[in-house]
Amino acid sequence: MLLSLLLSGAALLSGTPALAQGNLSDEQRSIVAGVPGEGTEPPGEHYYRSNEWRQDLLIEPLRGLGGAFVGVGSDQNYTMAAMAGSEYLFLVDYDPFIPWIHAIYEQLIVASETPEELIGRFSAENERETTAMLRTAFEGRPRARRMVRHFTSRRAAWEGYLTRVSRLTRDGRPFSWLADPAMYSYIRRMFRQGRVVYRNGDVTGEQTVTAVADACNRLGTKVRVVYFSNAEQFFPFTDQFIANMKALPTDDRSIVFRTIRHRRLEIAPDGRWHYLIHDFPDFVARLDTGAYHRVFSFTTDLLAAGAPFLGANGISHLTAEVPRASVEAARNRRRRSR
């Protein structure tokens, strides 16, 4: 009875029937497992914990999108994938240690029936037992000892972080994967069914994202959410990046979601970011103009358009209806250079 209630709760949250998911076939598992990593170098900073705390702003934009979710970063993706009712979760991060974080989560989530049980595995009193569990799980893997040390060296801070995530509510209602038992159940089931894939990859690289696109095509699923966090602020929109985005099988319901900081954009209350939803077809169409070389070009368009597209509550929505101010600015620059 309890399990049925949890599954029903996930269905209500996501708008997608939770029971529609089932175990993957051998062919589907092979397709998912075939997505390669790219072996990037470790960055200067390692964000094993998210600093984005206002996913409640995304409940309606993500509700019932289903399909595949492609994202960067750590466990904030679990919350958003549960909100969307995603069928597959492809996690691609340029930090080679982020897949270790997801590998640790996978082992501990599958072994823990409730959020409370999972968080308890990060406690000081359970450190020895959890460490032994991870040693056994990672035995034979490359760098297995380092993966276990990755847990033990961060355990105390990690426990505090997860406790905070488990307390996230809006108007008294939980909205995180650890605050809402139905969302936790949804993500746990995704892991158990092999629907979560994590790789060290570069969204501007030649291999991983195109392989995700190929996998989704073979699985017959559309990519409905692409989540960049604030990563776009650190790279230009290269030809390869644009090709990667265009390769993803999407449709009119697909969106890009990013976090961004800009002095003229309202920061979400109790957060540190502005949240920007972007219709995926419009994202690609703007990239195709050649006038958008960095993410702040989209900010230029939003600021020029103003309300209702530019939100005053910390979240905005970029659609085809927003005039392309960056294109006009590029034309003016070309005229002046003649």
* pLDDT of 29 strictly over 90: yes
Q: Is 298 part of any domain?
A: yes
Q: Which of 177, 55, 47, 161 is nearest to 100 (CA)?
A: 47
138 pLDDT higher than 90: yes
> Does residue 145 fall inside a structural domain?
no
Q: How many domains does the chain have?
A: 1
The answer to whether residue 307 is domain-embedded is: yes
21: confidence class by pLDDT, cuts 50, 70, 90 = low
Whether 144 maps to a domain, the answer reads no
Q: Residue 282 pLDDT > 50, yes or no?
A: yes
- Phi and psi based region of residue 84 (left: phi greater than 0; alpha: psi -120 to 50; beta: remaining): alpha
Q: Give residue 2's pLDDT.
A: 32
Determine the structural domain holding residue 50 and report its residue range: 2-113+184-337
Q: What pLDDT does 55 receive?
A: 96
pLDDT digits (tens, 9 = 90+) for 180-233: 999 999 999 999 999 999 999 999 999 999 999 999 999 999 999 999 999 999
Give residue 6's pLDDT.
39
Structure tokens at 263: 């002095």
- Measure CA 82 to chain center: 11
Instruction: Examine residue 236 and state whether it is found in any structural domain, yes or no.
Output: yes
- Under 8 Å CB-to-CB from 265, ≥6 apart: which residues? 274, 299, 302, 303, 310, 316
Kindly give, in sequence order, each residue whose CB lies less than 8 Å from that of residue 161, ignoring residues fewer than 6 positions away. Answer: 49
Structure tokens given for 101: 């974080």
Per-residue pLDDT tens over the stretch 39-67: 999 998 999 999 999 999 999 999 999 99
DSSP letter at 284 equals H
Does a structural domain hold residue 218? yes
Output the furthest CA–CA distance in the chain (Å, rounded).
73
SS3 for 161-201 is HHHHHCCCEECCEECCCCCCHHHHHHHHHHHHCCCEEEEEC
Q: Is residue 296 part of a domain?
A: yes
Check if the beta carbon of residue 200 is closer than 8 Å to that of residue 99.
Answer: yes
95 within 8 A of 254, measured Cβ to Cβ: no
Alpha-carbon distances, residue 280 vs 126, 285, 312 (angstroms): 44, 9, 22
**Looking at the domain assignment, is residue 170 inside a domain?**
no
- Rounded CA separation 87/106 (Å): 17
- The pTM of this model reads 0.93
